[in-house]
Structure 1
Amino acid sequence: MQLKLHMVTIEDLVPERHFLRKLDGALDLGFVYEETAYLYSRRYGRPPIDPVVLVKYLLVGFLYGIPSERQIEQRIQTDMALRWYLGLDLFERVPDHSTISQLRRRKPSFRKIFRRLFEEVVRQCIEKGVVSGRLVATDSTHVKANASRASEELVEVPESPGAYWERLDIYEEEGLEELECRTGKRRKKRVKQIKKDSRRTKKRVSRTDPEAGHMKRPGKPEGQYYLSHQTVDTDHGIILGVTVTPGDVHDSVPYLEHLEQIHKNVIPLQAAAADSAYDFPLAHRVLEEHGIDFFVRPQSNHDHTQAEFKREAFSYCKGEDTYLCPNGKRLRAKRLYRSASGLFWEYWADRKDCTSCPMREKCLSETDRQGARKLMDSYFKPAVQRHLSRREKPEYQEALKQRQVWSEGTFAAQKRSHNLTHVLRRGLEAAEDHCLLSATALNLKRMIWAMK
């Protein structure tokens, strides 16, 4: 067998229209040197591997759906285009996969680069006009944690107020002032937090990865997962924000902080769309205050009242802010009620009216101890009504359709081609790095496609 001698360079082996050539021209990674300068010594030790090479090393794994760093190393060894993108010559040694592991162990602050890389790509998308903020869609998807159900154990749930409680504190104080104007009475300012629902005092925690969460949702797999919450601009599907939580955290918990961060620090938002998991009263009020239109699929309401007369039997008088019962008696706002689920106005009937009412048996249950009918309205009901009153309009339905197309389509693309099915490393920070790189990879592809 005879072998021919060819005089070629790696530059000759990469087609002119190759995706990596377009990527190299579109993405400037010079900021990596500035961000990592303090991690390297110029006077001591061996010369380090170029940090830009390490970032590209991980990035190509998510661009091409290569699931592990060992496989990334093997792929770069034989793929000329990947060698060219990393700046490695034909016979230059590919960085060992263990280099990435040691980098994480010895320089944990290097992980800040992944958030900065994501933000830099989003910034470039905004500069190129690929992002407008006219309509964004938010949803979450489950990402399998590197932990089995066999490692789970039941532990007590510690109570932590969080940002949601702090927001309710502000609105509760506002509501108490309004109540004082209505009734002339005012309750004392709250000095301690409301306790959480006492029915859920324990949760399943993995001994292998305690920061993951046991997910149990209808239609979803059960086990240890993380949730990647993403907000997508519906112009070209660019992911504007990524927040990662354990799998047992409800979608509504990080939503407001997540969206506000994008609105204030990334691009002003004009409208937001979401599915029914995000239809909670506080979201309507907060987004309205930010000037963001809210298109959300309404949650189905279930009246669990044991009495025969349900809420629909009572008519609301907007001018007097009272409810009229089937017997023609009025229920007036009496107090502001705070619970773990939100802030509510309580409308009470006069006990004397209920005592002598001929419809008492249909209106009050046998176990009722108050002796008067009560109705509850969310404190944020006006904002909710203003948003949901448009739900039959074409633009509202179109926004929900765009959410379905872009949010679910984006997750499908990431799971199919960009490693968003499971994480190999453990811990919330590792899961966040993983989800950020997956989002960055898809953003880069969509940015380059939009610029054609």
Structure 2
Amino acid sequence: MSLLEKIVPSDQFYHRLAKVVDLEFVRALVAPYYIHTGRPSLDPVVFVKLLLVAHFENITSDRKLIETATLHLGIRYFLGYDLTQSLPFHSTISRTRQRIPLSVFEQCFFNVLDLCIKSGLVAGHTQAIDSAYVKANASIHNMQPKLSSWLTLTTDTVEANEAEKKTRISASTGRLKHIHRYHSLIQQTAPKKAGQLLSNLTHYSPTDVDARISIKTGKQRMLSYMLSLGVDTGKHVITYINADFSDWRDSRYLLTIVDTIRKRLKTHKLKVDEVLADSGYGSGSNYQQLEQKGIKGFIPPHGKYKLERKGFTYNSQTDSYICSQGILLPFNNTFTDKEGNVKKRYMSKAADCKDCPFRKSCIPGTAREKRLHHTYYKAEYDRMLARLSTKAGKRAMRKRAATVEPVLGSLIEYYGLRKISVKKREGAAKVMYLAATAYNLKKYLRYGTSNPLVKAVAISVTDKLLLLQLDFCNSHSIYVTSKNAGILLADHIAFDCCRISFTPFYYL
């Protein structure tokens, strides 16, 4: 027994983590990127442990990390360093992080996730999804105008071409005219107002070309990355995390998140049945794709969607509208609007509206007939709204807020994701993967190492049929029913006896 093992208490966090978690699998992951000749490199296991410590201690600076690890006996024991050994230089951590590819960090996250799944901490049934902006290591005040799209590339290498493409204007001519018109209106309204008028379509950051300006009501504009997160509702274990561009809508990432989670859980014979997300992930295409995959979604539609049109009744069987005067508006055509959304047009005949008393108030301008349009995915929207209006839908929205939002806040406030200290999207993803790995390791250390096997036994308190829901750590939930007195559940099921949650009793 070493001196540090005697000094550090056995119930101390890093002592317990060193005894329970084995990170030797890292050596096989990084073996292709290490050579066995020359001066010995930083031990890959020590490297990963140092990064995990940074997230455990909420440290975003490599220099501060080494300083803290040097003085902390528990961290020294976790790293395998005795009192007389010197820790690596902080620059070594930065260089090693840059050289090891993203796939290694991703596999570290998946290995720890597999550990949580095997311990029964992941139910798989319901996944909650959300996102947040994380500040990039770049200043919005140093952004530069993009080059014109017609300029030719000046470099020959593939990597240089990809980097230069990000500095060229890729927006359409119409979109650029809209931006310039919007800026001119602002300048006319407030000509003395200081500050630059910046857009992701016309400007870029020379410091970090992957960082994007994030715009959120009530929040300061800043260069950031989008932290996309998927959390299992069983024990709030993170099942997905990635760094995405912050100038894209959340809905563009939903299917990628769902497919990645399903693929990973399928290897453990776990099935995703429900997906919970906020309105930012809502779109007709996403609703349709989830239905085709056999997944029940609880995702509110965007605020622009209208369930009904005042004065008009929609008939889903004939796919047509009927106005209050009995005039038919059949389906006319499918078109794509300026924002790229596919819509269906419904149009009446000019002769039917010619003598209508409401013609002036109903038909705008010089048009001769009444035209209506709605999204191509109206049926999917209506089914989603009907699902959300039920008790199960309202309960699902409360569960989403109680599941993924606390995890998101914890990562940002307590696991070192207040700011991304490295450059580019790949570097941001490396940091996020290790932050999620540290979070899941804490979950595993708390719940996955000692799950007692017990019997859950209950008796009925009434002659009516009783429905009772039990939530366990190794399964999403179990519904049991009983008449009169009797045993509701007698199977051996592993669960955390300190965290059993009972739903209210519903009598049928």
Fold conserved between structures, TM > 0.5: yes
Q: Distance in 2 between the 1:197 and 1:264 partners?
A: 40
Q: Equivalent residue for 1:138?
A: 129
Q: CA deviation at 1:243?
A: 2.3
Q: Give the direction of change, closer, same or farther, for the CA distance of 1:257–1:401 in structure 2 (3 Å limit).
A: same
Letter in 2 for 1:47: P
Q: CA deviation at 1:23?
A: 2.2
Q: Give the direction of change, closer, same or farther, for the CA distance of 1:84–1:212 in structure 2 (3 Å limit).
A: same
> What are the equivalent positions in structure 2 for 1:72-83 lying under 5 Å apart?
72-83=65-76
Q: CA deviation at 1:196?
A: 10
Q: Give the direction of change, closer, same or farther, for the CA distance of 1:155–1:367 in structure 2 (3 Å limit).
A: farther
Q: 1:54 aligns with which of 47, 55, 68?
A: 47
Q: Equivalent residue for 1:36?
A: 30
SS in structure 1 opposite 2:332?
Answer: strand
Matched, 1:127 2:124: no
* Number of residue pairs matched by the alignment: 400
Q: Give the direction of change, closer, same or farther, for the CA distance of 1:286–1:48 in structure 2 (3 Å limit).
A: same
Letter in 1 for 2:108: L
> What are the equivalent positions in structure 2 for 1:162-173 lying under 5 Å apart?
none
Higher deviation after alignment, 318-327 or 223-232: 318-327
Q: Distance in 2 between the 1:196 and 1:378 partners?
A: 26
Q: Equivalent residue for 1:347?
A: 346
Q: Equivalent residue for 1:424?
A: 421
Q: Deviations over 1:305-326 (max 9, x none)?
A: xxxxx92211012222211012
User: Which ranges of structure 2 fall in alignment gaps of 5 or more residues?
Assistant: 150-170, 180-198, 451-508
- Among all aligned residue pairs of Structure 1 and Structure 2, give the percentage whose two residues are the same amino acid: 29
Q: Deviations over 1:290-333 (max 9, x none)?
A: 11111123432377xxxxxx922110122222110122111111
Letter in 1 for 2:117: I
Q: CA deviation at 1:397?
A: 1.0
Asked if the contact 2:301/2:381 (under 8 Å) is kept, the reply is no
Asked if the contact 1:20/1:85 (under 8 Å) is kept, the reply is yes
Q: Distance in 1 between the 2:128 and 2:173 partners?
A: 30
> What are the equivalent positions in structure 2 for 1:1-20 lying under 5 Å apart?
9-20=3-14
Letter in 2 for 1:373: K
Q: Equivalent residue for 2:331?
A: 333
Letter in 1 for 2:312: F
Q: Distance in 1 between the 2:381 and 2:147 partners?
A: 35
Q: CA deviation at 1:108?
A: 4.1
Matched, 1:300 2:300: no
Q: Deviations over 1:191-249 (max 9, x none)?
A: xxx97973459344222212101111112221111110101111111111112123222
Q: Distance in 2 between the 1:8 and 1:381 partners?
A: 68
Q: Distance in 2 between the 1:358 and 1:122 partners?
A: 66
Q: Over aligned residues, Cα RMSD in angstroms?
A: 2.3
TM-score of the superposed pair, with normalisation by structure 2: 0.74
Letter in 2 for 1:64: E
Q: 1:153 aligns with which of 144, 148, 153?
A: 144
Q: Distance in 2 between the 1:196 and 1:376 partners?
A: 27
Q: Equivalent residue for 1:175?
A: none
TM-score of the superposed pair, with normalisation by structure 1: 0.83
Q: Distance in 1 between the 2:243 and 2:400 partners?
A: 20
Q: Equivalent residue for 1:27?
A: 21
Asked if the contact 2:300/2:384 (under 8 Å) is kept, the reply is no
Q: CA deviation at 1:367?
A: 5.1
User: Which ranges of structure 1 fall in alignment gaps of 5 or more residues?
Assistant: 1-6, 159-193, 304-309
Q: Equivalent residue for 1:170?
A: none
Q: Equivalent residue for 1:230?
A: 229
Q: Equivalent residue for 1:311?
A: 309
Asked if the contact 1:213/1:249 (under 8 Å) is kept, the reply is no
Q: Give the direction of change, closer, same or farther, for the CA distance of 1:350–1:62 in structure 2 (3 Å limit).
A: same
Asked if the contact 2:321/2:330 (under 8 Å) is kept, the reply is yes
Q: Distance in 1 between the 2:32 and 2:285 partners?
A: 43
Matched, 1:71 2:64: yes
Asked if the contact 1:157/1:203 (under 8 Å) is kept, the reply is no
Q: Distance in 2 between the 1:149 and 1:8 partners?
A: 51
Q: 1:445 aligns with which of 439, 442, 446?
A: 442
Q: Distance in 1 between the 2:125 and 2:147 partners?
A: 43
Higher deviation after alignment, 281-290 or 315-324: 315-324
Q: Distance in 2 between the 1:422 and 1:153 partners?
A: 22
> What are the equivalent positions in structure 2 for 1:179-194 lying under 5 Å apart?
none
Letter in 2 for 1:412: G
After TM superposition, which residue ranges in structure 1, 4 or more long, deviate above 6 angstroms? 194-197
Asked if the contact 1:204/1:213 (under 8 Å) is kept, the reply is no
Q: Deviations over 1:392-443 (max 9, x none)?
A: 2222111111111222211221122101110111111111111111111111
Asked if the contact 2:145/2:203 (under 8 Å) is kept, the reply is yes
Q: Deviations over 1:165-216 (max 9, x none)?
A: xxxxxxxxxxxxxxxxxxxxxxxxxxxxx97973459344222212101111
Letter in 1 for 2:413: R
Q: 1:290 aligns with which of 264, 288, 293?
A: 293
Asked if the contact 2:33/2:100 (under 8 Å) is kept, the reply is no
Q: Deviations over 1:123-150 (max 9, x none)?
A: 1111111111222111111111111121
Q: Give the direction of change, closer, same or farther, for the CA distance of 1:207–1:41 in structure 2 (3 Å limit).
A: closer
Q: Equivalent residue for 2:256?
A: 257
Q: Deviations over 1:344-366 (max 9, x none)?
A: 22212122222343321121111
SS in structure 1 opposite 2:130?
Answer: strand
Letter in 2 for 1:265: R
Asked if the contact 2:60/2:419 (under 8 Å) is kept, the reply is no
Q: Distance in 2 between the 1:283 and 1:116 partners?
A: 28
Asked if the contact 1:285/1:384 (under 8 Å) is kept, the reply is no
Q: Distance in 1 between the 2:225 and 2:447 partners?
A: 31
